Structures are given as structure tokens and as C-alpha cells.
Amino acid sequence: MTALLVIDMQNDYCHPDGVFAQAGLRVTGLDDLVRNVNTLAAAARSAGRPVIWVRMEWADDADVGLLAERSPFLRERGLRRGTWGGELVAGLDRAPGDHEIVKPRFDAFHRTGLDDLLRGLGAGTLVVAGVRTDFCVESTVRAAFFRDLKAVVPREAVAGYVEDLHRNSLRLMGTVFADVVSVDDAAKTLAAPGGGRCP
């Protein structure tokens, strides 16, 4: 079975008023990104496939860890539990029955219940969408590969802040870690009987 995994579509990561944008890191084409993620969510639900929303969140400043040294603007604010910045951006089509995973680091498997959830659902293939392509998306795709889970990355449903890094990440993931495809092909994968690989 195939599951849709949507990574970090949160206000602090994506919204023009979020902490990353305030630090000069902006997602371009947010409306298109949201529309493409919604296309995938609709395809997943129409085929009875699970939709999993992943958020990165910290309870307090100490929980940020080493990232606070690398990204000082996160030391005291951003992605904090219970804040607007930690919430998913407006316009995403969420539905009752969707799943949610909260993670403390880039990799959605690290210190979360994602692996157990996927095994319980019988999911062997993941369509991975969201942000940031070269950080959290790629980290999660690699972690899936190391667990013998197949990954499909729809290129129009992921985004980063630096175009070169975004493109290089897609290229790197496509070498061995994932199939990098169009949104249409990823939607077909979600709708395919048995939830198989891309056409």
C-alpha cells in the first residue's frame, strides 16, 4: 500500500510572516505548493490511502538542540508547541481520519511513531511532499530508504528556500533513494490498485 506523507507545511516554514521568512528564507509559489499537495491528498483519499501530516515542533528552547547553534533565530522562537507558527498553513485540505506525526528533528522517523504507524497501515511505499526539499524531505526520504520503504517525490509538491539546493536535492534523491516524478504521476501511484510504483 502507498501512503501520502506531507512534511512541515507549517506557518513558520512557509508563511511570509513565519520565522524562516523573517530570517530571509522564503518559500516561493506557496499557493501552487498547497494546491499540488491538496491534489495528492484528494487522490490518496479517493483510493482509500492514508494521509499523514508531519509537523516539526519543540516544547521549549532546550528541545531545539544543535539546530539552535546552526540557526540562531530558532533559539527562542519558531516551531514552538501551541503557537501559530507550528500550525499547518491555511488552505490545506485536511480531513477526519488523517494521521499526524510530530517530530523534533528533520527526519520524520527520528524519535517519532512514524515507523510503527506505517507498518500498522501496511504501507510499503510513501509519496513524500512538503518542505524543505533539501532538509526535512530528503532526510525523511533517506530514512525511508534505509527501512526498505519505497519513496516517490512529486517535484511540484516539494519546495525549498534556495533553488540550487532544491534542484540538487531532487537530483540526488532520484539517483537511488526515490522516484522523482510529476504530481500527476504521483497521484496515479496513490490511486493505483495495490498502491504500487509510479507508471
Q: Catalytic: 8? A: yes
Exactly one of 12, 136, 150, 185 is catalytic; name it.
136
Q: Catalytic: 12? A: no
Exactly one of 12, 103, 107, 134 is catalytic; name it.
103
* b/e burial code for range 5-28 (CB count within 10 A of at least 16 → b): bbbbbbbbbbbeebbbbeeebebe
| Alpha-carbon distances, residue 5 vs 53, 82, 98, 144 (angstroms) | 6, 22, 10, 11
CB 7 within 8 A of CB 137: yes
Cell numbers standing for residue 173 = 534523491
CB 179 within 8 A of CB 155: no
Can you tell me the distance from the alpha carbon of 9 to that of 46, in angstroms, rounded to the nearest whole number? 22
What residues are labeled active site? 8, 103, 136
